[in-house]
Amino acid sequence: MSSAMTQEFHPFGLPMGTVRGFLSLLICSFFWIALLDPRENITPVPLGHFFLLTLVFLAFASHPIQELRPRALLPWLMRLLFVGGSIAVVAYVGWKDPHRLTTRLTPDASEIAQWPVLLGCLAGGFGFALFLRFVLGRNGALFMTLRAWVGVIAMLLLLFETIFQFVILPSMSDKPGRETMQVWEGILIATVAAYFGSRA
């Protein structure tokens, strides 16, 4: 079998870890905006985003920094941005307005009961991607194509979620119900987890 048949191509031809870096940056930037936004009508960070945050830590644990190629600038840059940015934002808000750290980073009490469903979406998306990789093969053309598309969809969903939570939702007089938001968060978590699972 030729090497071309067994070579694993990373999504969009980018260095390994770049797409996960973009996703991690989008996940972390949601927390940054939530902490830095001075408006009083900003709701606390939804519980689902804390589940997404576990994927960022998982990316660090499953792909240590030694595995990144020294010449691959983008993955290093992404890691520097979402780690350094998170430290800077938390330190700044903690110095400027410590109360905001507590209020914005404490999920609504009514969401706590949703954690089994959200955990199931996280595990389901991650596990399904692992199963699909086992069936289709890590280096299979179909699997690599699906993986790339899931990465695109995950980035678009995270972008929309940020715009919705901080631009659209605060100005809505008739806000979506809890069940609607739970379904949306489940889709978001499962999709993002699926990409991280496909790269685990």
Encode the chain (200 residues) as per-residue pLDDT tens digits: 444 445 555 555 555 567 888 898 899 999 999 999 988 878 899 999 999 999 988 766 555 444 445 445 666 677 778 788 889 999 999 999 999 999 999 988 888 889 999 999 999 999 999 999 999 988 888 988 899 899 999 999 999 999 999 999 988 888 888 888 999 999 999 999 999 998 87
Range of the domain at 156: 11-198
Residue position matching structure tokens 């008739």: 174
Looking at residue 51, its pLDDT comes to: 95
Q: What pLDDT score does 30 carry?
A: 95
User: Given this model, what pLDDT does residue 13 score?
Assistant: 52
Confirm whether 70 is domain-assigned: yes
Is 6 inside a domain boundary? no
How many domains are there within the chain?
A: 1
| Residue 43 is assigned to a structural domain of this protein | yes
Q: Is residue 105 part of a domain?
A: yes
* Domain-located, residue 167: yes
Query: What phi and psi, each to the nearest 5 degrees, are found at residue 134?
Result: -65, -40
Q: Is residue 89 part of a domain?
A: yes
Residue 4 falls inside a structural domain: no
**Other residues' Cβ atoms within 10 Å of the Cβ of residue 25:** 21
DSSP letters along 60-75, please? Answer: HHHS-GGGS-TT-HHH
Q: 5 in a domain, yes or no?
A: no
CA–centroid distance for 160 within its chain: 12
Under a CB-based contact definition with an 8 Å cutoff, are residues 47 and 114 in contact?
Answer: yes
Tell me the two tokens of residue 67. Answer: 């595995």
CA distance 144 to 109: 40
